[in-house]
Amino acid sequence: MIKDDFKKRMKIILGDEFDSFMNSYDNPEFHALRINHLKVKDNIIDKYFDGHLSPVPFCHTGYYYDNHIRPGKHPYHEAGAYYIQEPSAMLPGTLIDAKPGETILDLCAAPGGKSTQIAAMMNQKGLLISNEIMPARAKILSENIERMGIRNAIVTNESSDKLASFFPEFFHRIMVDAPCSGEGMFRKNEQAQDEWSLNNVKLCADRQAEILDNAAIMLKPGGRIVYSTCTFSPEENEISIINFLKRHSDFHIEKIDRKSEIFDGISSGIKNFGEIDTSSISDNCFRIFPHKFNGEGHFACVLTKDGNIDVENDYRELKGLKEKSLKEYNEFAIKFFKNPPTGKYIMFGDNINLVPETCPKLDKIRVLRAGLNLGTVTKGRFIPSHSLALSLSPDDVKNVINLSINDENVYKYINGETFEYDTSDGWCLICIDNLSIGLGKVTKGIVKNHYPKGLRKKL
């Protein structure tokens, strides 16, 4: 049951559109996904969906899919070919406009939709730090980073103030998808309706202000913050930005060209709320209302810090492993790779990991995932990881088992079974229609299954 206090506020915001807005709650929600072009190089996904995809206007990799399709139950999902994401939530990732080679922070990143969208834009080049303060959610974030085959991401589990003390003026771009009162999710999530209150709106606004202030510390001069929420509350949106700009005179709201048809159905910000005038920024804010766009409620804007983004700061260098520590890995690499992944080798727990060359020393913050886990050394032998497999393409390795989606061995493999295949002995990359999904080890035509036990399932 939607609360009366919420309705009163929405009537102030929407005026004559209020009835249309309320009627939208009777409509079914929209479903969408983003194709992961870190792994998908052709139109194989379109073939699977057989014409049941239609584009999300502002995201060139985003597509609506018909409600009767269940893409989460398909092997392509396990292979990281796409990320299922609410369509409106793709807008902030579009606005951040990430570039390969940059240093980027996703400050409130779980479950990983925006991080994986940013990573695809970066194309494995540069450094992405994906942070989540809640440990359980940070674990889910790390799992999604792995499934999408991302090599250049560091997953951290820290508060924004701890990161700000560690990374002053470090990032070219920062995504702040702030925790909010969740008003935009009422159609999808009845619990959000039950938990909503005016007091919670205020608490969220106060928390968002702290997070934004810490983001400002971490942004390089000339850098960009994308601020977003999934709520309609002006206190958490336009008013929050107005107050931020008052506290930070070195920031301004960026003007985005809205003339493109990709922004059809997306509203500007509101010009006032009660006695509070927000007209100075409203034209450069984005609001998504479910009665005007095929998606849930969302807000976004872009904040830019004055100055020169080329300024570099001095950070403690993360030292890589010496060659003698890589003996077993190098022996494996010679046999396994055509094109091995590159970066700086480090020890992370018992694992050999690969991190971007620009990665600083991370000993004072909680790190769940440090770049790409290559594998472990056990009894003098290197054992490659599932993470490594998911990050590779068939062209990267010497021995590939490339199965068709219609091959029964696909489902045997995901279910943890061995199967027969005529190929060279040793480690091999298992692929489905050129999408890497895991590892196998072949002995005399029998493929021993190395798909992780925790992921095995019947599809």
| Active-site amino acid positions | 230
Return the closest-CA partner of residue 39 out of 146, 193, 186: 146
Retrieve residue 224's tokens. 């960009």
User: What one-character DSSP code corresponds to residue 254?
Assistant: P
Return the closest-CA partner of residue 201 out of 178, 235, 176: 235
Return the closest-CA partner of residue 269 out of 294, 291, 236: 236
Could you give the 3-state DSSP secondary structure of residue 285?
strand
**Which residue's entry shows tokens 């009894």?**
379
Retrieve residue 244's tokens. 């931020």
Q: Tell me phi and psi for residue 117, to 5 degrees.
A: -70, -45
Distance CA 455, CA 459 (A): 11
- In whole angstroms, what separates CA 50 from the centre of its chain? 26
Instruction: Please answer whether residues 179 and 207 qualify as being in contact, where contact means their C-beta atoms are separated by less than 8 angstroms.
Output: yes
Return the closest-CA partner of residue 459 out of 420, 400, 421, 417: 417
Q: Residue 155: left if φ>0, alpha if ψ -120 to 50, beta else—which one? A: beta
Tell me the sheet residues that pair with 55: 63
- Those residues whose C-beta lies under 8 Å from the C-beta of residue 160, and which sit 6 or more positions away, are 107, 131, 133, 210, 211, 214, 215
Distance CA 228, CA 231 (A): 9
Could you give the 3-state DSSP secondary structure of residue 244?
helix
**Which residue's entry shows tokens 């983001």?**
215
**How many beta carbons lie within 10 A of that of residue 274, not counting itself?**
9
